[in-house]
Every structure is written in structure tokens, then in C-alpha cells.
Amino acid sequence: MKFSVLTASAGLLAAVANAQATATVVGRVAGSAQHTTLNDIISSAKYQGVKDALDLAQDKTLFAPDNDAFTTFLANGGTQLDDPVTSTDDDFIATVTEILQYHLVAGDALTDAELISSVFTETAMGTSVKVEDDSGTKVNGVLVDASFTEGDGIVHSVGTVLALPPSIVEHATSETPELAAVVAGNADLLAALTAPTPLDPVTVFAPNDQAFTDYGTLSTDADNVTSIVSYHVVPGKIFAAVTPDGTYEFETLMGQELTVVVSTDQAGAKSVTVNGAVVVTADVNGKNGVVHVIDTVLVPPPATPAPTSSATSLVPGLAATIVAAVTAFFN
């Protein structure tokens, strides 16, 4: 009888231990037939840092791509990528690590409703995802297929691997050779535009084409270009959607302040101005920050010298770069 009781007790303890092991975010992934690829990846020693983050965070939210999502991602439009588990390519492993971090919110177990209300949620890599209610919960436009609440967090299953948004400089150098040449030859401007990282982001108030047309031409003088461009950049991420109505002063990379006014009309429409310039497109989410498109070029005090007819125009390059970056981020 004693043996039977001990055996039963041991069995009960084992069952409890097994239940505790599976009642976690990692356990949910490990026990899901739809997420075997994700489980194989996070179980690999190559991605131990991600596994540690999952294990150590007491509360967490995981956007879990299913097997089909990884199949499509690795097919890469016809150019097959390495198997993340067997790959020996350090750059590829680093990219996969970043992508995994982009699917994890450490420190918060967020339900669908909480994600939607927060609008923008910062991930473990620093870059934010955008969540909206559009015939279901969508993360960066990807529908959440199912959600599971576990003891240490919540798993949201998605049918697509969330793509990392590109940075401003990547677009500037790849799509606009004219500005790329200027940036490459201007150490201060290059440093200002490349320094931001997902964990040290910036907010850019980007004039549209019409704003540059109205302004005229920019001097090719390096200090002048740096001064004007830097005056449109503020350290940190400022999302209009979650900023309460009011008047704010934000310090730019130039060390001078911009006055931002946020207001909401009776119909619930939010409007934002920056030194009087109107934000025509807000909250363009990027890898290393956020972009707001404005209708006027901001001129830092003291005012820059008036454009001269002999000045070489940088308007097409600069405008195209900002528009390309904004379009890519927004899409």
C-alpha cells in the first residue's frame, strides 16, 4: 500500500511538473505542431540570447510565426535562405536573431485589446510594431490567427514573419545617389543620420516635395545642410497617436527647440503642428525611429542665409530621399 501511495504521489508530482513546464510561452511553442520551426530555432544554441530573454522575462508577449510563415520567409521570393538552425553565416544568424527579438515584447503580457489600445508597442530589439483592429487584431498589417494565455505571458500566432522596417540612411544611399554623395562627404551629417539605432532612436519631421519647392534651394555648404537637416531630427520616438493634446517643446539634434502642438477636434480627428508646419502624415514607423511628414521646411534660428541663384540645388535628392524613406516605412 505504501509503495502504491508513493508511486501515485510521484506520478502526480510528475504531472504537475509537466503541466507547469507547458504552461509557459516557451512550452506553448514547444507543444504546438504549427510552430515546430520556431521551436527548433529558439531551441538552437545559436539563438541562446533569445531563449534566455524568453526564459528570464516574467511577463512577455510573443508574436509566433507558424511553420508556413517561416517556409515563405526562407523561400525569400525564390532565393532560398539558409536553414536558421544549421546556418554558419554569422550575418544571417544575426539577422534572424534581430527578427526573433522583433517578435518579442519583454516585460508585458499584452492581450489583443491591450495591444490595440497601445497602438505602438516596443519590442525587445527596440523597434516598435503597430497594432490595429481591422477585422481582427493586426500586427504591422498581419492578422493574429489565435492567442494563448500562459502562466508567464501571451502567445499571438501569426501567419507571416514580421519584416523589419528599413532605416532612413539605407534608403538614402540606395535610392538617391545625389544625397548619398552629399552624406558620404559630410561627416557630421552622416554621423547624425547613422547614429540612431533601434535602442537609441530618433523622430524625423520630414518635409514633403511641396515644402522643398516652396522653400527654394539649399546651399551646398556642408554646415548649412547639416544645420537644416539636423533641425528636423529629435532624439527618441514621438508617436502622435499616443501623445495627449497639448503644447510640447522638443530639443533637436541642433540643441534648439521645436514647438509641437497636438489637438483633437470634436469629431475625434487629431492634428499636429511643428513650429507651425502641419503634419500631413503622422507616425510612419521605422527601424530606428519614427517619421512625420510636414508641409514646410523648418528653418533653425538664427535664420539660414537666403538661397542664391548660384547655389546648387539639393532639393530633388533630399526630397526624394525623405519621400522614399517615408513611403517605405509607411508601407
pLDDT tens, position by position, 279-312: 998 988 888 888 888 888 898 887 545 444 333 3
pLDDT score of 222 more than 80: no
Which of residues 158, 192, 218 is at a domain's end?
A: 158
pTM for this model (two decimals): 0.76
Which of residues 124, 158, 192 is at a domain's end?
A: 158
Please tell me whether residues 172 and 154 are part of one structural domain: no
Please tell me whether residues 29 and 127 are part of one structural domain: yes
Please tell me whether residues 102 and 191 are part of one structural domain: no
Residue 152 one-letter amino acid: D
pLDDT score of 321 more than 80: no
Residue 114 pLDDT: 93
Cell reading at 24: 509557459
Cβ-proximal residues to 288 (8 Å cutoff; 6+ apart), any chain: 127, 167, 168, 196, 197, 198, 200, 201, 202
Per the structure, the complete domain to which residue 259 belongs is given by: 168-330
Does residue 221 fall inside a structural domain? yes
**Domains of the chain: total:** 2
Please tell me whether residues 149 and 174 are part of one structural domain: no
Instruction: Give the span between the Cα atoms of 93 and 95, in whole angstroms.
Output: 5
Residue 69 pLDDT: 97
Please tell me whether residues 275 and 148 are part of one structural domain: no
pLDDT tens, residue by residue, 169-184: 654 344 334 445 545 6
Residue 254 pLDDT: 81
Cβ-proximal residues to 106 (8 Å cutoff; 6+ apart), any chain: 53, 57, 60, 124
CATH (domain of 248): 2.30.180.10
Does residue 163 fall inside a structural domain? no
